[in-house]
Structure 1
Amino acid sequence: MPVLMTKRLILRAWRETDAKSLYRLAQDPRVSVVAGWRPHKSPKESLAVIRDVYSQPEIYALVLRSTGEVIGSVGLMTYHNSNIGLSKTDCELGYWLGVPYWENGYCTEAASVLIRHAFEDLSMQRVFCSYIEGNLSSQKVQEKLGFSPHHVNKNVYWDSLGASRNEYVSCISRQDWFLKNTKRERM
């Protein structure tokens, strides 16, 4: 798995030594509720998540370049491990950040480089992304990145919420991504 860099971030594979950092961030229900999972209960549970979930291809730890601190996660899920139901040339983007790092543009920055990786290196044709109703921050990230609404999964039961909410699924095509970024580079 490649290491991807942005101006402020390093996207790298998760390491078992990241378990304490993951626990520190993932125990906060403000993170887990909007991400769709339950808060972590111990560093041991976080280690299990690193081994069982975050060890999959294209799942990255988000690390601040300035401090080396893990601040969240971003990843691409392909057709066989996505919740959306994708073709082999589609993938699903997922991301979350620890609360102290919200509202700094880190998700947009990380997702942008990962989308470029999906299209340029992995030859994907479409990238999907979703958010739970009420998660305005995630909605804004997707809008900034050029995603368009695709469909709504109504009344999905979210274990982390203990309730049903609509899931909004958006998409950006390879063609739309390159058009958007070519325009930006010309400005």
Structure 2
Amino acid sequence: MFKKILVAIDNSDISQLVIKEVESLALAMDASVMLVYVQTSFNEQYLNPILLQPDSFYTNLHTEAMQDYMKQWENLKQEKIDWLRSLSQKISNHGIKTEFTLNFGDPSRMICELAQSWNADLIMLGRRGHSGLSELFLGSVSNYVLHHAPCSVLTVQPQEVTTSPELKQQEKFEAV
């Protein structure tokens, strides 16, 4: 029986499915939930400080750029905290004890470390279905977590709409 469920989420559509699944499971098991978002340099909103080199000839520009970068970073961080807070509240409204955390680093390792320190019974996360070269280059958070987690892992993936052979034939006919 699961009493502490750690839920790794991001801004993807699959995370919405994960949230729905965890709500059902947590209610059935009377479990508490920890929502986890890990900011990494591979997130699309990550701020890249490439121009903030400390050996710049224009130290005033460097200081201004650094201050602007830090302000943008704090705004991004606050957006994620607000988003996590609203998700946490939504789940709490169903009578589920919910908390959240925002972390920075490698999502794969961070999820496993948080599960260990929080004594999670289960980790839930989405699976995007990377395979082959895309998994090799992009990595797979779900694959890493599955092999390194200190507890059980449940991956949620989108259900593909299956079409009957007759309907496929009809669609093919109509397309011609």
Where on the TM-score scale, by shorter chain, does this alignment land: which range? 0.3 to 0.5
Structure number with the higher strand fraction is 1
* TM-score of the pair, normalised by structure 2: 0.33
Which has the greater radius of gyration? Answer: 2
Larger relative contact order (Cα-Cα within 8 Å, sequence gap ≥ 6)? 2
Scaled by the length of structure 1, the TM-score of the pair is: 0.31
